[in-house]
Structure 1
Amino acid sequence: MFMRFAFLATALTLGLAGPAVADTAVLDKLKANRLAITLDKGALTGPGAAPLLQASRQAQYVLLGEDHGVAEIARFSSAYFNALAPAGFTTLVTESGPVVASALEGMLRRADAVTAIARFDAAYPDAIAFYTMRQEAEMLAGFALAAGPRFEHWGIDQEFIGTARYLIAQMLAQPVNPAARAKLEALRQLDAVASHKAAASGNPLEYLMLSASDEELVSLRPLLAGPNEQTALGLLDALLASRAIYQKSASKVPGDRGLSNAMRLALLKQTLASRLGVQEQKLLVKVGANHAYKGINPLNNRDVGNFLAERAEGQGRSSLHLIVLAAKGTQLRFAGAGKPHQPAPIELDSPASKLLASAGATDGSWSLFDLRSLRPGLRKLAAGDSDVFNLINGYDFALIIPEGSASAQLAAP
């Protein structure tokens, strides 16, 4: 999906033997501890279900790292999360912006949640990342029902590229002074023009979040100084922070994309930290696979997964990290501003993920691997393959689905 940017496949070097040595040894170990897991009428069954659920229920934080846009992964997530709700997991953390996540939380408390999400998407195109896919929206709605009255949805990411329209509407709904209101009305008109251009060209850089001048946005800030205008100011700051990340990400200046990634990681962690208390509730975290690693991930970063793993350990608790991938098939991907998403081939982009896929069952069943059992003697086992080394240290379990199918996009109601 646009602006979640392709993985930059970097890795550490352990300075041991070549990765080919690791492949055979690790592959044999993986196959030896492979367990089948089945999704049957919305419930997880098979030999792998019990150990995965037992380990997950004992954790304070459960992180699911995924490849986005695969229907089977969304259905697995739904069954997995619903099974954990009775164990106290009633808060879901996603790669959504906090403002839009709050709007989604309200929709998810309604009986027509999926329809409400589709209606919101039609009114505010490209304001919601990922959850305008039908299976993902159904997963959210099902989990909200399973979690019951204690359900919470936390978004910890930047607001998505088309969110300016919704943020402006929310600011206009606040008690702002006449000068600020006039400025916001002018921005709303600019947004209408920008959104039309973005939809016509398919270029998300045309959206107001990126096409507006600095003066048009920053000049609003000093107008929101009153005590009753702090909510509107917070919404503006969310827009500006998201804009800054996207600007660096789209820049052609050397080093800016790396800076964008660092800015985004800081935002993810800071936003999450602002929601956590001393005795916080258990959390389910559903993010892209690179984000959920303990330790160093393939981008050579310490991401949200490591942040929560360290926090849990410091509190005498634990985190559980599960990676879920489809070995082949198709996934739904962003295809341009205001355009229908399009299916695209699944391409596993790291040696470790390809190794997991090759260890999967050949009879079409789903394969669960307990990676913790491979950690004793891992340095020798990995034989210098840093990608394999980091994956086995970074994830506790891995689930391989032999073939995935692209999620379906929600249709406008």
Structure 2
Amino acid sequence: MKKSILLAFFTMLLSTKFISAQDSLVTAMAKRSQTSLTVSNGELKGLGWDKIIEKAKKSNNIVIGEEHFTNEIPFFVSKIAGQIKFDNFFCEIDPFTAHIFEQKIKTLSADALNKYTADYGNTFSFYAFKPEFDLLKQLVNGKTTIRGTDQILLVADRLICNELMQTTKNTRAREIYKTIRDQSKAHFSAFLKDQKNPFYLLTPDFDTQINELANLKLSTEENKIIAALKLSAEIYKSQNHHLRIQLMKNQLMADYGSWVKQKNLYKYGANHAAKGESLLEIYDIGNLVNNIEDSQFSSSLHIIVLGKSGWQASPFEGQPASQIDENEGSLKSLKPFLKLVNGTEWQCFDMAPIRRAIENGKVKVTDVKLSRIIKGFDFLVVIPEVTASQFPKL
């Protein structure tokens, strides 16, 4: 018995030393590929920034994998969009909401847009936050098409049904859209007071309303949106991640002919953006984009950007922000890189040399998540301290 305990102890000790040695080797290589970015007078400068822009200008598809709910990351993306003209912006919202955003930004006056945001802002997902919505406005004003690929947000049934009320020619459908809009708002208000209360999209009454709509004589566009609402409810209820990714890829490819070979910017959670297998063990939208670009005899550029410390906002207004812990989640796996991040300058790590060392057997990475990040992204950008995004003051 004592021998087996001692053997287990020494095995664990040797394993720990081996992992530590491998981490040190990755850190040494990372240091050689490390450059910095400096924020100065509202602009990004430095060798790291120049390197990113140089590579981004050479690729038709730039994929940003982020940690949500901070001010600094949409700032980073806005600066890329300030240097490069993009034809399309793909993002983690549904295509109908994306179209609504684009049309409101294009057609409403500043005061009218502020009022609309005050009324419906909490249905905007990430774009409810000021820096995110400012990024959308920058892109739309720069003639970039906004393209959503995700399922409909839990509370965006209100946003979408409000629009459908204005366009439907079916009197009964208009009544149902109004019911969904009003009930969604009431349920969300109840949820904010007590998180045990369900979103309307998840209730039996929502199913009843949608099923009735599906049996009415409606336009092709209405039928398409109703089907999307039903599928979105199914994804949320079943928590079927694979089905969600299938939908995202399906909606990306639905308009393939209108964006292929154009200049495209993608902004998704880091879990979705890797070239190969995602951080959630599935071949996600980043992998699809990589394969599409590969079929064009070129390569997409994948950048993961995150904060080492600081705060992330809650997705719901009035809820407290959460503190970032570098010893949890993906950050824990990135320890070989994070130990090189000190001071206030942002740091950029070129993954290509480390990736080649892994492929050539010169270094072995035992942490699966770290391996996926190194193989899945061209650059890792680490911000020493991030701040929580703020909702606009209206």
The verdict on a shared fold, with TM-score over 0.5 as the criterion, is yes
- In structure 2, the partner of 1:104 is 101
Structure with bigger helix share is 2
For residues 5-58 of structure 1, the C-alpha deviation after alignment (integer angstroms, 9 at most, x for no partner) is xxxxxxxxxx9x953332100011111221111233343311112221111111
- In structure 2, the partner of 1:345 is 323
Quote the Cα distance in structure 1 between the aligned partners of 2:182 and 2:129: 29
Quote the Cα distance in structure 2 between the aligned partners of 1:50 and 1:65: 19
Could you say if the C-alpha distance between residues 162 and 29 of structure 1 is closer, same or farther in structure 2, counting changes exceeding 3 Å?
A: same
Quote the Cα distance in structure 2 between the aligned partners of 1:364 and 1:176: 57
* Equivalent position to 1:307, from 273, 284, 288: 288
Give, in angstroms, the shift of residue 409 of structure 1: 1.3
The TM-score normalised by the length of structure 1 is: 0.83
- In structure 1, the partner of 2:8 is none
Could you say if the C-alpha distance between residues 239 and 34 of structure 1 is closer, same or farther in structure 2, counting changes exceeding 3 Å?
A: same
Residues 1:276 and 2:256 aligned together: yes
Could you say if the C-alpha distance between residues 48 and 111 of structure 1 is closer, same or farther in structure 2, counting changes exceeding 3 Å?
A: farther
> Which range is displaced more, 268-277 or 99-108?
99-108
For residues 365-406 of structure 1, the C-alpha deviation after alignment (integer angstroms, 9 at most, x for no partner) is 111111112122214413423222211110000111111111
Amino acid corresponding to residue 89 of structure 2 in structure 1: L
CA-atom RMSD in angstroms: 2.4
Which consecutive unaligned segments of at least 5 residues does structure 1 have?
1-14, 250-259
- In structure 2, the partner of 1:139 is 135
Give, in angstroms, the shift of residue 121 of structure 1: 4.0
Q: Structure 2 matches for 1:254-273, cutoff 5 A?
A: 260-273=240-253
Quote the Cα distance in structure 2 between the aligned partners of 1:222 and 1:111: 34
Residues 1:231 and 2:221 aligned together: yes
Residues 1:127 and 2:123 aligned together: yes
Quote the Cα distance in structure 2 between the aligned partners of 1:116 and 1:320: 37
- In structure 2, the partner of 1:91 is 88
- In structure 1, the partner of 2:11 is none
Could you say if the C-alpha distance between residues 331 and 184 of structure 1 is closer, same or farther in structure 2, counting changes exceeding 3 Å?
A: closer
Quote the Cα distance in structure 1 between the aligned partners of 2:36 and 2:174: 59
Could you say if the C-alpha distance between residues 119 and 317 of structure 1 is closer, same or farther in structure 2, counting changes exceeding 3 Å?
A: farther
Quote the Cα distance in structure 1 between the aligned partners of 2:109 and 2:174: 33
Indicate conservation of the 8 Å contact 1:322/1:395, yes or no: yes
SS in 2 for 1:206: coil
For residues 178-228 of structure 1, the C-alpha deviation after alignment (integer angstroms, 9 at most, x for no partner) is 34334444444544543443344345x63321124323321220113x5xx
Quote the Cα distance in structure 2 between the aligned partners of 1:154 and 1:341: 29
For residues 247-279 of structure 1, the C-alpha deviation after alignment (integer angstroms, 9 at most, x for no partner) is 112xxxxxxxxxx11111011101111122174
- In structure 1, the partner of 2:370 is 388
- In structure 2, the partner of 1:211 is 203
Which consecutive unaligned segments of at least 5 residues does structure 2 have?
1-14
The sequence identity of aligned pairs, in percent, is 25
SS in 1 for 2:373: helix
Aligned length: 372
Residues 1:247 and 2:231 aligned together: no
Quote the Cα distance in structure 1 between the aligned partners of 2:319 and 2:147: 25
Could you say if the C-alpha distance between residues 270 and 18 of structure 1 is closer, same or farther in structure 2, counting changes exceeding 3 Å?
A: farther
Quote the Cα distance in structure 2 between the aligned partners of 1:65 and 1:383: 21
- In structure 2, the partner of 1:324 is 305
- In structure 1, the partner of 2:354 is 374
Quote the Cα distance in structure 2 between the aligned partners of 1:399 and 1:178: 52
Point out the structure with max Rg over C-alpha. Answer: 2
- In structure 2, the partner of 1:31 is 31
- In structure 2, the partner of 1:197 is 190
SS in 1 for 2:62: strand
SS in 1 for 2:221: helix
